[in-house]
Amino acid sequence: MSSVRSPKKSPSVPAPTDTAAPANEPVDTGFLRTLVGYNTRRAALSIIAVFMERMAVYDLKVVDFSVLSLVAHNPGITSRQLCATLSVLPPNMVGLIAALERRGLIERRPHPSDGRAMGVHLTPAGVELTAQAEQTAAQLEEDATNRLTAAERKTLIRLLQKVYD
């Protein structure tokens, strides 16, 4: 005779009922709204949707923009550094760099201090596109956080960085 344990019920979760709330009543998100992950995800989704819409004119995805911005501010950055900074696996970064290179936005050159590495640089077209895309991103961020004061926005960024740094 084997003993089968029934799963323990969490005391904070109410027992299921046979009656469901009407479909037009508000959904209780009280617990979820206390979670950093839930709130961060909700904020990110709303910003990313607008980001994708505004970056479509440049044919850039979030990761493409991030790579171009990092290369713009760190000329000669290596793909290894890009991977570490963006948490992208090396095989995926190879494809990203190749695609941006095919578009004429970046080029790889031998790294001056590491003969085994290639540094990534923006081409003139990449410099122009990245500058325009960064302006668009800055405006998007301003629009997305317009209900925050400048101090609140700065605090939000600082607190989020404390979570992931």
Give the Cα separation of 53 and 60 in Å (integer): 10
What integer pLDDT is reported at residue 112 of this predicted model? Answer: 86
61 pLDDT band, cuts 50/70/90, is very high
**Is residue 114 scored above 90 in pLDDT?**
no
Q: Say if 74 falls within a structural domain.
A: yes
Q: Say if 138 falls within a structural domain.
A: yes
Q: Can you list the positions of beta strands (E) in the chain?
A: 77-78, 106-110, 118-122
* Four-CA torsion 145, 143, 27, 13, nearest 10 degrees: -30
Q: Strand pairing partners for 122? A: 106
**Is residue 6 scored above 80 in pLDDT?**
no
- 9-43 pLDDT, tens per residue? 555 666 655 566 678 899 999 999 999 999 999 99
Q: Say if 121 falls within a structural domain.
A: yes
Mean pLDDT of the chain: 91
The helices-and-strands tally (H runs, E runs) of the chain is 6, 3
Report the run of H or E that residue 164 belongs to, with start and end: helix 150-164
What integer pLDDT is reported at residue 113 of this predicted model? Answer: 85
What integer pLDDT is reported at residue 115 of this predicted model? Answer: 81
Q: Say if 37 falls within a structural domain.
A: no
Number of Cα atoms under 13 Å in the Cβ half of residue 128: 4
- 121-149 pLDDT, tens per residue? 999 999 999 999 999 999 999 999 999 99
Mean pLDDT of 80-98: 97
Q: Say if 147 falls within a structural domain.
A: yes
* Overall domain count for the chain: 1
87 pLDDT band, cuts 50/70/90, is very high
Q: Strand pairing partners for 77? A: 120
CB atoms within 10 A of CB 131: 13
Cβ atoms of residues 54 and 140 within 8 Å:
yes
What integer pLDDT is reported at residue 4 of this predicted model? Answer: 55
Q: Say if 5 falls within a structural domain.
A: no
Q: What percent of the chain has pLDDT over 90?
A: 79
Q: At 138, which CATH number?
A: 1.10.10.10
Q: Say if 102 falls within a structural domain.
A: yes
Q: Say if 32 falls within a structural domain.
A: no
Give the domain range for residue 83: 60-164
Q: What is the pTM of this model?
A: 0.80
